[in-house]
Amino acid sequence: MITTLVVVLGLAVVIGPWLLGIANRLDRLHVRTDAAWAALDAALARRAVVTRALLNSELSLMADRAERADRSEREAAENELSRMLGAVDRSVLPPALAAELADAEQRVVLARRVHNDAVRDTLVQRRRRVVRWLKLSGTAPQPSYFEIAEPVEEAEAVVLTPRPSARVVLTDRDGRVLLFQGHDPARPQELFWFTVGGGVEQGEELRDCALREAFEETGLRLTDDQLAGPVWRRRAVFSFDGETFDAEEWFFHAKVDGHTVDTSGFNEVEFATVKQFRWWTQAELDATEDTIYPRQLSEFLPSLINAPWDGRTRAIR
Give the side-chain half-sphere CA count within 13 A for 211.
13
- Residue pair 196/293 in contact by the 8 Å Cβ criterion: no
Domain map (residue ranges) of the chain: 2-134, 161-315
Could you tell me the fold of the domain covering 161-315? Nucleoside Triphosphate Pyrophosphohydrolase (3.90.79)
d(CA 10, CA 14): 6
- Residue pair 236/249 in contact by the 8 Å Cβ criterion: yes
**Can you give the pLDDT of all 317 residues of the chain as single tens digits?**
666 554 455 555 556 676 777 777 877 888 888 898 899 989 999 999 989 988 888 889 999 998 888 887 888 888 888 888 888 888 788 878 888 888 888 888 888 888 888 888 888 788 777 777 777 777 778 888 888 776 655 444 445 678 899 999 999 999 999 999 999 988 888 899 999 999 999 889 999 999 999 999 999 999 999 999 899 999 887 778 877 788 889 999 999 987 888 999 999 999 999 999 999 999 999 888 888 999 899 999 998 988 888 889 998 88
Entry pTM: 0.67
- Residue pair 43/107 in contact by the 8 Å Cβ criterion: yes
> In whole angstroms, how large is the CA radius of gyration of the chain?
23
- Residue pair 182/168 in contact by the 8 Å Cβ criterion: no
